[in-house]
């Protein structure tokens, strides 16, 4: 599997949309890996993880052909993860020569949002499928399992186990430390090849549905101790808020010794 991490910021982006704090100003000055757009990814060019407000721009910059997408899996409906209005532009008036449908997988709230957009645009060729916790489904050649996240108490939020040809990826944000049901499920599976985790809070101790550096270290240690991961498993930190204050080089200095790669917009990983 090839994972392209298209965006690596929390909801506000970094530099944040309206912010002039020192961290945002320094990111503007440095550019490069310190410019972070809202979170999302694509696997093997056909399986999209979340569909945030920066998706179109990311696709242009990173060479992603959105018309190739066959499946979209949605973690939850916060606006930085699911901004479904562009789904309406997949209709016949706007999009020509499409070779296949797009299937959107998500919880009840995500599907309700998508359904409203599609009804208003009279869009065809987009199929909606409800996911349920711990029930795997086939998304083309992928086996995808929704796992419970600890994030927004107003909806069922998910992280996803994604498998293809024996390779196993955990897409693990947005969430605080995993619910015990999720730990139990992962503990009964073969070891993971890659784990992407929520690092929203950086060095801060505040959690509120997210993790920071301390929690990331704890998750990695537990996974290694309980056989969910091995010494060959690649751990990746992403979904950073400017409130954490650590720019890319600072994050590498803090997280590298703990066994983590620090994601940046456009990062590609072969899993």
Partners of 127 in beta bridges: 103
Reported as a single tens digit per residue, the pLDDT across 157-194 is 999 999 999 999 999 999 999 999 999 999 999 999 99
pLDDT at 124 over 80: no
pLDDT digits (tens, 9 = 90+) for 254-263: 999 999 999 9
> What domains are there in the chain, each with its CATH number?
2-263 (3.60.15.10)
As to burial, measured by CB atoms within 10 angstroms (0-12 exposed, 13-18 middle, 19+ buried), residue 222 is middle
Q: Give the pLDDT confidence score for residue 30 in this predicted structure.
A: 98
The pLDDT, as a whole number, for residue 121 is 74
Distance (Å, whole) CA 76 – CA 156 = 7
Of 51, 119, 42, 44, nearest to 81 (Cα)? 51
Sign of CA dihedral 159, 236, 25, 63: negative
CA–CA separation, 255 vs 200, rounded Å?
Answer: 13
Q: What is the DSSP letter of 44?
A: T
CB atoms near residue 161 (< 10 Å): 21
Rounded percentage of the chain residues whose pLDDT exceeds 90: 92
């Amino acid at each position: 599997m090839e994972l392209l991490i298209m965006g690596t910021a929390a909801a506000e982006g970094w530099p944040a949309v309206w912010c002039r704090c020192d961290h945002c100003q320094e990111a503007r000055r440095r550019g490069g890996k310190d410019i972070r757009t809202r979170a999302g990814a694509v696997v093997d060019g056909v399986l999209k993880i979340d569909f945030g407000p920066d998706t179109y721009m990311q696709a242009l910059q990173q060479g992603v052909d959105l018309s190739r997408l066959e499946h979209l899996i949605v973690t939850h409906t916060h606006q930085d993860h699911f901004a479904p209005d562009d789904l309406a532009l997949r209709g016949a008036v706007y999009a020509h020569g499409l070779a296949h449908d797009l299937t959107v997988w998500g919880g009840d709230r995500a599907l309700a949002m998508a359904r409203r957009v599609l009804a208003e645009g009279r869009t065809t060729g987009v199929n909606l499928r409800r996911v349920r916790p711990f029930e795997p489904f086939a998304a083309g050649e992928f086996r995808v399992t929704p796992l419970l996240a600890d994030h927004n108490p107003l909806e069922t939020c998910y992280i996803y186990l994604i498998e293809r040809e024996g390779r196993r990826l955990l897409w693990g944000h947005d969430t605080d430390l995993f619910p015990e049901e999720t730990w139990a499920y992962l503990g009964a599976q073969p070891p993971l090849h890659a784990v992407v985790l929520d690092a929203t809070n950086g060095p801060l101790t505040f959690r509120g549905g997210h993790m920071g550096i301390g929690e990331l270290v704890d998750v990695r240690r537990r996974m290694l101790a309980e056989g969910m991961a091995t010494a060959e498993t690649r751990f990746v930190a992403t979904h950073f808020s400017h409130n954490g204050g650590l720019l890319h080089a600072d994050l590498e200095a803090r997280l590298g010794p703990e066994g983590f790669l620090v994601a940046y917009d456009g990062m590609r990983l072969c899993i």
